[in-house]
Amino acid sequence: MANHSTQTGSPSALRTFFVSGMGTALEFYDFVIYGIAAALVFPQVFFPDLDPLTATLVAFGAFGVGFFARPLGGAVFGHLGDKKGRQKALVITLLLMGLSTLLIGCLPSYDSIGIAAPILLVLLRLVQGFAAGGEWGGAALFGIESAPTGKRGLWGSFTSMGIGIGGILGSLAFALVSLAYDDNLADFAWRIPFWLGGVLVLVGLYARMQKACSQPLQHSEQVRIPLLEALRSRPREMLLCSGIAFGYVTIAYIGSTFFLAYATQIGYGSTEALLFDIALSVAIVFSAPLFASFSDRIGRRRVMIFGTAIMAAGFFVFFPLVGLHQLPISCAAYLMIGIFMGATQGPIPAFLAEQFPQAVRYSGMSTAYQIGAALGGGTASSIATAILITNDGDPFGVALYGSAALAIVAMCSWLLRETAHLSLTELDHPVCAVAPCTQD
């Protein structure tokens, strides 16, 4: 049985990063700018008849709708990736995300076409979510299955780095537009980052259509429906991986979209809030591969549990620091949260992928992750905002909510097997135990 971690002709680290990390960055850029727009301008553009905080809550609800298309995307593209190869799935997800992003930038406002405007917005969010459901797992697997021995965590974290880079690009685009068109942001200028995102996707598409990003699959012909086989042979892993995704994506979207809206609610300008978001994303780009590399050495579970502990403590420090209304201190608080988020985000791709054998890996990993992401990320910003409203603006309840989500990540990580030092052949072996495997 061949092991991709040692096969000759594997892509270089730079090539792998460009396909896996930068492709995800361009796709996540599209996702991020929607979250930023939901926090800053969509309440006025699509829900103008509501008071500002309620309109923000509704805009986050529309943002969350896209998450519920993610499990379907994970299942569909996971099946395609397991049966026909990773490349086809990665190209289609990027095309869908780019087209839907471009069309969101062209949508008329509520004042122009009434209720049809938010309906069309939600429909396009569903397309974005469907595409995102297949993107993350496929991009992560390209890095993990290409990695040299002992570096699956690091190479898998290229996707995590891409998420941070996408956050930087999205926040930077909105920050520049906000600076240039501060008085016109909600009228017209918010559309520019969406149009730019539709064009930038072509860069990632070029990388993913190259032959070098196509990897051969082995044994996939033995499994007719990979997702059903993953559910049959790895039900415990499916459940625990969904739990990790639920907890992590919950705090990830509290730490991005909600924190952005929170900063503007307590008096920071939209440009300052976007600078905070850039600081958080920069920290993730550097901390995710660092902690992923640690997980290659000392194990995934140790790093994951450590990451949840420092992140939970960070929530209770973050809000008082930002509440001081001192720009340098607030930037430092966002950097701190980004570093702590990287401690869990870095090892997650490899940790989840290693729970499944190759023949069902894309389907099992993507579907499990996206179910958790739908339940966690799809509701995180709305729940955090509702907690803030209920507590008259006191963020202590939000910190408790985030800590509870992190406790779920820690518990599920502890219950999963440690996989960092197993070869890909050893990870595939349990499938051989339930169905005879043809050796190459």
Task: Categorize the per-residue pLDDT at 8 as very low, low, confident or very high, splitting at 50, 70 and 90.
Answer: very low
Confidence of residue 218 (pLDDT cuts 50, 70, 90): low
When comparing pLDDT for 283 and 274, which is higher? Answer: 283
pLDDT at 86: 78
Least confident range of 200-204, 273-277, 335-339, 403-407 = 200-204
Q: Average pLDDT, whole number, for the chain?
A: 83
Region of poorest pLDDT, from 40-49, 125-134, 276-285 = 40-49
The pLDDT value given to residue 351: 96
Kindly indicate the confidence band of residue 316, based on its pLDDT and cuts at 50, 70 and 90. Answer: very high
Predicted pLDDT of residue 4: 43
Classify domain 13-212+228-434 by CATH architecture: Up-down Bundle (1.20)
- 299 vs 273, which has greater pLDDT? 299
Lowest mean per-residue pLDDT among 176-185, 249-258, 291-300, 331-340: 176-185
Tell me the pLDDT tens digit for each residue of 190-215. 899 999 887 777 777 777 776 555 55
Weakest mean pLDDT among 151-160, 166-175, 295-304, 331-340: 166-175
Q: What is the pLDDT of residues 78-125, one digit of tens each?
A: 888 888 877 788 888 888 888 888 899 999 988 889 888 888 888 898
371-392 mean pLDDT: 86
The model's confidence at residue 427, banded by pLDDT at 50, 70 and 90, is confident
Per-residue model confidence (pLDDT) at position 291: 97
pLDDT digits (tens, 9 = 90+) for 334-350: 999 999 999 999 999 99
- Does residue 438 have a pLDDT over 80? no
pLDDT of residue 317: 93
Binned at pLDDT 50, 70 and 90, residue 29 comes out as confident
Predicted confidence (pLDDT) per residue in 75-84, tens digit? 999 888 888 8
pLDDT at position 341, please? 92
Instruction: Report whether pLDDT(261) > 80.
Output: no
User: For a pLDDT cut of 90, what percent of the chain falls above it?
Assistant: 33
> In this model, does residue 302 exceed pLDDT 60?
yes
- Residue 222: per-residue pLDDT: 65
Q: Give the per-residue SS3 of the chain.
A: CCCCCCCCCCCCHHHHHHHHHHHHHHHHHHHHHHHHHHHHCHHHHHCCCCCHHHHHHHHHHHHHHHHHHHHHHHHHHHHHHHHHCHHHHHHHHHHHHHHHHHHHCCCCCHHHHCCHHHHHHHHHHHHHHHHHHHHHHHHHHHHHCCCCCCCHHHHHHHHHHHHHHHHHHHHHHHHHHHHHCHHHHHHHHCHHHHHHHHHHHHHHHHHHCCHHHCCCCCCHHHCCCHHHHHHHHCHHHHHHHHHHHHHHHHHHHHHHHHHHHHHHHCCCCHHHHHHHHHHHHHHHHHHHHHHHHHHHHHCHHHHHHHHHHHHHHHHHHHHHHHCCCCHHHHHHHHHHHHHHHHHHHCCHHHHHHCCCCHHHHHHHHHHHHHHHHHHHHHHHHHHHHHHHHHCCCCCHHHHHHHHHHHHHHHHHHHHCCCCCCCCHHHHHHHHHHHCCCCCC
